[in-house]
Amino acid sequence: MSTKSATSLGGVLKNSEMSFRDKAEIIKQKMQRFLFGFNDRTGFLLKFTIYLLLLCIGFVYLYPILYMFVTSMQSLSDLLDMAINWIPSSLYLDNYRQAYTVLNVRPALLGSIQIALFPTLIQVAISSIVGYGFARFEFPLKKLWFGLMIFSFIIPPQILMMPTYRLFSELGLTGSLSAFTIPALLGQGLNSTIFILIFYQFFKQTPKSLYEAAEVDGANQLVSFFKIAIPMAIPAFIVAFLFSFVWYWNETYLTTLYLTSSSTDITTILLQLQQFETNYQALYPATEASPNRINEGIKMAGTVISILPLLIIYFFLQRYFVESVDNTGITGE
């Protein structure tokens, strides 16, 4: 029923000649439309349920971040005061000053960007080429190679950790950025199989008539890839870049295995965060005259600093990321 019809019901109710039963029936219909909706309008119950679920899910995700940020702004006296929970008594930034010094942010941030950015760019480029090859060409044992690629992703990485480390040690790759860039260059980067499958599915859905028209115009496969495939796969590139960058940024086990096992000057924010308490005690030794004990506020300040670059990147690329996820059909990872 249209809005005009719904409005007319209010006029009908004012009709004094109608019986009480008819008026009650009209009121019942109005309540049903209000609660359950009508035509293309959503009812109140469905809207309330959706917003309630969104609020609950948003609270679950935002609560740790809010708690971490509020705690990082509290002084030691605020932390010991049971009456102070969410609102600090004053804007206390000394926790961030100490955490910034302990984390050695400048070289650690540079190392994190190197380990996250360069392998990500290589991995996205190689994954797009491999996915394009599987989607566009027919070659011997194609299904076998495709199955082996998926099987390599199914194998738990812990099983291959020590053989891979021994191989990298013999090749002299440990202790340098090559331990991450060379595997990405060979299509064996961090979760490369997922990105290859994303590009494969995306290129598979691209109309073949576009490539055939380009071939008629004299374009070779390389031109078709750069002029047709890449422009149409921009959403897949954005998703692959963001996921890959976050995974490389958050990777600590491989970074510890490949970098700290050999003498190197490269360090990352998360490696510094793992050694936060040890480094803090070395920089701020606790004495009787100056009891510089580490507290929860300083730890939370260090954690906020470590995730701040990712939050900034997501803040600026949020719109493109959501649109790309919708276009690629990814439901979550």
Q: Does any domain span residue 191?
A: yes
Phi/psi of residue 186, nearest 5 degrees: -95, 10
Task: Quote the number of domains for the chain.
Answer: 2
Higher-pLDDT residue of 319, 79: 79
* Pair 152, 232 in one domain: yes
Asked if 35 and 121 sit in the same domain, the reply is: no
pTM metric for this prediction: 0.76
The percent of residues above 90 in pLDDT, for the chain, comes to 5
Q: Is residue 73 part of a domain?
A: no
**What confidence score (pLDDT) does residue 121 get?**
93
* Domain range for 30: 1-39
Residue 59 lies in a domain: no
Q: Are residues 134 and 3 in the same domain?
A: no
Residue 1 has pLDDT above 80, yes or no: no
d(C-alpha 234, C-alpha 161), whole Å = 33
DSSP letters, 69-82, are HHHHT--HHHHH-T
**Same-domain status, 119 and 207:** yes
CATH code, 236: 1.10.3720.10
Q: What angle do CA 15, 1, 38 make, to 5 degrees?
A: 115
For residue 201, being part of any structural domain is answered with: yes
Q: What is the pLDDT of residues 302-317, one digit of tens each?
A: 999 988 888 888 787 7
One domain for residues 12 and 147: no
Identify whether 185 is part of a domain. yes
Q: Identify whether 164 is part of a domain.
A: yes
- The answer to whether residue 109 sits within a structural domain is yes
Cα–Cα distance for residue pair 32/50, rounded to 1 Å: 18
157 falls within a domain: yes
Kindly state whether residues 138 and 268 are assigned to the same domain.
yes
